Chains A and B, each alone.
Chain A
Amino acid sequence: DQQVKQNSPSLSVQEGRISILNCDYTNSMFDYFLWYKKYPAEGPTFLISISSIKDKNEDGRFTVFLNKSAKHLSLHIVPSQPGDSAVYFCAATNYQLIWGAGTKLIIKP
C-alpha cells in the first residue's frame, strides 16, 4: 500500500519553462512534507518542505503547494535550468518518513 505516490516516472521540460512535479498521499495524519533532489551516484539532498498548516512555501525558484483536501502536493520550478535535471522525491511524515518512488526530470536545452 503506497501511502505516497508520484504517478509520473519521468517529465521532460524545456529550459526556461516551468516544471511541475506532483505527489499524492493517502494518510491524512501526515503533517510535514518534503521534496528531495537526487543526482546519479549521489544521495538525495533536501530541497524544500512544507508543514500541513501551510498551503504554500517558496524558496527562490522552488515553490511547494499543498492541497490537504485533495491530499496532493506539487513542486514548481521556474524557470527550469539544465542543472535541475535529476530525480525528485516527495516524502511525508508524521513520525516516520514515507517516500514516493520519484520522478525523473529532464530539462531540454
Chain B
Amino acid sequence: NAGVTQTPKFRVLKTGQSMTLLCAQDMNHEYMYWYRQDPGMGLRLIHYSVGEGTTAKGEVPDGYNVSRLKKQNFLLGLESAAPSQTSVYFCASSYGEAQPQHFGDGTRLSIL
C-alpha cells in the first residue's frame, strides 16, 4: 500500500551540480505534480502532467525539467542547481484535475 513514493528523502548538492528526483505512484493516477514548499509559503506548483508522455509548466518552472515516460513515474530534474532551489519538494498524484491529490513524504534538498 505504498501510494506515492519519493526518492531520495534528503540530498545535499553543490551549486552547479545536477540531480533527478524520482516520484512513483501505484494508484494508476493520470495526473502527477511536482511542488516545492518554502518557509512561510504554501506549496507552489513547479510542473505537472495530465498523462503519460505529457508535461506542463506550473507556477515556478524555471530551472527545472520533468519527464513522464511511464504513467507511474514522474521525474524532476535540476540541470544546474542554485542555492535558491533549496527547498522541500513534494510529488503528488490524482485521478483528475479537481480531485484530491495524494502526496509523497517529500525530498529535502539543500544547495550549498
Contacts and interface: CB of A to CB of B under 8 A. Distances in A.
* Tier of interface size on chain B: 20 to 34
Given A89-B42, A96-B58, A45 B103 contact: yes
B32 to A, nearest CB: 13
Interface string B3-25: 01000000000000000000000
B42 A42 contact: no
Interface string B95-107: 0011011111110
Contacts of B48: 96
B92 interface: yes
A89 B58 contact: no
B2 interface: no
From DSSP, what is the main secondary structure of chain A's interface residues?
loop
Interface string B46-62: 00100000000011000
Q: On chain A, which size bracket covers the interface?
A: 20 to 34
Contacts of A42: 105-106
B4 A43 contact: yes
B105 A41 contact: yes
A99 B98 contact: no
27 contacts: A4-B42, A32-B98, A34-B100, A41-B106, A42-B105, A42-B106, A43-B92, A43-B103, A43-B104, A43-B105, A43-B106, A44-B90, A45-B103, A46-B100, A46-B101, A49-B100, A91-B42, A93-B97, A95-B97, A96-B59, A97-B45, A97-B101, A99-B42, A99-B44, A100-B42, A101-B41, A102-B42
Interface of B: 4, 40-45, 48, 58-59, 90, 92, 97-98, 100-106
- 10 cross-chain pairs, A with B, having the tightest CB-CB distances, nearest first: A43-B103, A99-B42, A46-B100, A99-B43, A101-B42, A32-B98, A43-B105, A100-B42, A44-B103, A43-B104
